[in-house]
Amino acid sequence: MHEYSLADGIIKTVISVAEENKATKVSKVTVEYGLFSLVEAPQLDFCLGLIAEGTILKDAEFVLERNNGKIKCDECGYEGEPKIADDDMLQLMMFSCPKCDSSRTTILDGRQIIISSIDITTDEE
C-alpha cells in the first residue's frame, strides 16, 4: 500500500510548512492527485488521518481532488482526458482514446500528487 508512504510524506511536508509559518493549527489540507498516480483516495484519506493524530494536523480536514489526467493519442492526435473502462485501479492500465478508441497513447498529465493548499492559523490571527 503506497498510500501510507504518500500520506507520511504529505504530513511531513505540511508540518514543515506549518512550522516555517509559525502555525498554531492546520485546519485544512487540499491534495490534488493524478488519475495515473494510482492513488486509492479512501486509503490515502485514512492514512492521512491516522498519521495526523498527535500532530498539529490532528483536527485538519483533508480534501482530495482527482485530476483526470491528459493523454495524447498516437493514432489520431487527440489530446485530453482518457476513456477509461472502469474506475477500478486495475482498469486504469486499460485506457484508450475517446475519439478513435486506440490504446496507442502517451500520458501527458495525471501522474503527480500535489499539496495545492494548506489553511493554517497563527498567533497573529
Where in the chain are the domains?
A: 1-68+110-125, 69-109
**pLDDT single digits (tens) 102-122:** 989 999 999 999 999 999 998
| Top-confidence residue, 1 or 79 | 79
Q: Which of 63, 59, 64, 81 is nearest to 72 (CA)?
A: 81
**pLDDT single digits (tens) 22-34:** 999 999 999 999 9
Q: Please name the fold of domain 1-68+110-125.
A: hypothetical protein PF0899 fold (3.30.2320)
Torsions phi, psi for 57 (to 5 deg): -100, 10
How is residue 41 written as a grid cell?
483516495
Give the range among 34-38, 65-69, 88-92, 121-125 with minimum mean pLDDT.
88-92
User: Which residues, other chains included, contact 85 with Cβ-Cβ below 8 Å and sequence gap of 6+?
Assistant: 91, 94, 95
